[in-house]
């Protein structure tokens, strides 16, 4: 029975990339590449790599785990199991290598698959956000700063903002690949001494066969700043997911009621309150973002290993790598589903625009007064006073303005225009269209 929710509730396509069986296969892929490089350099028989590759197809995870129980070394258990299945070529498995030549290089292969899926997931989310941005580029709504009504904006602006942020994550991922998709075949302290003369050529060839870059300098391990970078990137992605999910949660409060998560006909919101329509998917995303961020701290602490390495990174990486990738993938997938089914309530959006009785147009009135010859600072103070008076008396800003001398500076037509929120969104439509190109 599964203990971790990663094996059930939050399982995604990413999970298969980090399963033990997948890791075992990646380890053997590196061993096969090492054997091929040895053979090309004339160090082992030419037919040995093929025999080792054929042998790898017969290796079972159960056998590897059985050997590990006896020898207490997971990588060496794989080496023995692979040697068992490779006939006389088994004598040439793992020549010159240390465990982390295999493990860290295989981790880069795993990261490559994970990043590929991550980019596809981000691209799907970006496409959804772009569609929403263009569809709602004219959907005027109230903007909020400090939790208070500010000036009008549009829902298109909200989604365009998220769209460009997701695109930056795609760019970051592509840039980071140069630093993350790196392997090594450099031995116990990084000197390549175990490979003898021609070790540099061998390392380069192994990485060419695997489609990775070779670390220019390494110790017994690939340096953990590389691994910390990818977890930081995943945390950035999780932060964006939380940012969007939190906005959905807040805007779905009954007091606002502008948007809502999709809610199925048979969906239950509460075990005791039948009326509840909780934004639980968005809340779940916000909860999981905390987990991804927390793993960054562990990854950063893995950077200062002692001397040429110690083992303090090993155990926790078995958790933080799969957990961070799988949870982030789940968040991206869940958020995309929420956005695709997002509901809008236009009547509530309009209601909230009118909620403060025109106070949201105070900036516009102030600027209009400057065009009538009133100094900017004077205009600001006058409209500030009018706004406070309107609020205190429960009247509209327009009504309060018209009752005083400043109101006489405007015609009725001008006042109608000044207090129309739909005409005070500046370049919002243009901004959205340019961002969505």
Which amino acids are annotated catalytic?
Answer: 146, 270
For residues 37 and 92, the answer to whether their CB atoms sit within 8 Å is no
Burial code of 296-328, b = ≥16 C-beta within 10 A, e = fewer?
A: bebbeebeebeeebeeebbeebeebbbbbbbbb
Interatomic CA distance for residues 379 and 357, integer angstroms: 20
Exposed (0-12), middle (13-18) or buried (19+): which is 216, by Cβ within 10 Å? exposed
> In sequence order, what are the residues at sequence separation of 6 or more whose Cβ sits closer than 8 angstroms to the Cβ of residue 160?
129, 133, 137, 431, 432, 435, 436
Interatomic CA distance for residues 46 and 51, integer angstroms: 10
Interatomic CA distance for residues 120 and 204, integer angstroms: 30
Interatomic CA distance for residues 77 and 71, integer angstroms: 7
Own/partner pairs, 198-205, CB within 8 angstroms, 24+ separation: 198/41, 199/96, 201/41, 202/34, 202/37, 202/38, 202/41, 202/96, 205/36, 205/37, 205/40, 205/41
154 closest CA partner among 436, 437, 430, 434: 430
Q: How many helices (H) and strands (E) does the chain have?
A: 17, 6
Q: How far is CA 89 from CA 35, 39, 433, in A?
A: 10, 11, 62
Helix (H, G, I), strand (E, B) or coil at 344: strand
Look at strands 182-183 and 148-154 and give their pairing.
unpaired
Helix (H, G, I), strand (E, B) or coil at 427: coil
Q: How far is CA 387 from CA 392, 401, 409, 416, in A?
A: 9, 9, 17, 18
Interior angle at CA 220, CA 95 and CA 302, nearest 5: 145
Interatomic CA distance for residues 215 and 364, integer angstroms: 58
> Look-up: residue for tokens 């290993």?
305
């Amino acid at each position: 029975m599964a203990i971790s929710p990663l094996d059930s509730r939050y399982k995604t396509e990413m999970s298969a990339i980090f399963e033990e069986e997948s890791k075992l296969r990646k380890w053997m892929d590196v061993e096969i590449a090492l054997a091929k490089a040895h053979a090309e350099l004339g160090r082992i028989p030419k037919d040995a790599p093929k025999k080792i590759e054929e042998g790898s197809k017969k290796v079972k995870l159960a056998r590897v785990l059985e050997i590990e129980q006896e020898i207490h070394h997971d990588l060496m258990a794989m080496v023995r199991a692979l040697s068992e299945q490779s006939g006389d070529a088994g004598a040439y498995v793992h020549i010159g290598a240390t465990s982390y030549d295999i493990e860290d290089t295989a981790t880069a292969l795993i990261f490559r698959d994970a990043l590929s899926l991550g980019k596809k997931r981000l691209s799907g989310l970006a496409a959804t956000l772009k569609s929403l941005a263009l569809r709602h580029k004219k959907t005027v709504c109230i903007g909020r700063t400090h939790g208070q009504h500010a000036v009008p904006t549009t829902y298109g602006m909200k989604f365009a903002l998220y769209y460009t942020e997701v695109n930056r994550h795609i760019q970051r991922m592509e840039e980071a690949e140069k630093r993350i998709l790196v392997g090594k075949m450099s031995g116990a302290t990084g000197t390549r001494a175990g490979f003898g003369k021609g070790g540099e050529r061998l390392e380069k060839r192994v990485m060419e066969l695997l489609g990775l870059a070779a670390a220019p300098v390494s110790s017994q391990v690939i340096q953990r700043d590389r691994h910390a970078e990818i977890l930081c990137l995943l945390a950035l992605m999780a932060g964006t997911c939380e940012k969007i999910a939190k906005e959905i949660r807040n805007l779905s409060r009954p007091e606002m009621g502008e948007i809502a998560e999709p809610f199925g006909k048979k969906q239950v919101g509460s075990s005791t309150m039948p009326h509840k329509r909780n934004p639980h998917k968005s809340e779940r995303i916000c909860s999981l973002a905390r987990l991804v961020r927390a793993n960054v701290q562990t990854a950063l602490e893995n950077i200062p290993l002692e001397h040429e390495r110690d083992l303090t990174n090993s155990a926790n990486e078995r958790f933080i790598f799969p957990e961070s990738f799988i949870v982030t993938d789940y968040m991206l997938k869940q958020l995309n589903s929420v956005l695709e089914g997002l509901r809008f309530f236009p009547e509530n959006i309009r209601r909230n625009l009118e909620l403060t009785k025109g106070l949201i147009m105070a900036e516009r009135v102030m600027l209009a007064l400057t065009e009538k010859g009133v100094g900017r600072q004077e205009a600001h103070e006058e409209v500030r006073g009018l706004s406070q008076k309107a609020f205190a008396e429960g009247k509209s800003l327009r009504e309060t303005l018209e009752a005083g001398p400043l109101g006489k500076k405007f015609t009725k037509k001008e006042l109608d225009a000044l207090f129309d929120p739909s005409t005070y969104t500046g370049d919002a439509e243009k901004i959205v269209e340019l961002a969505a190109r």
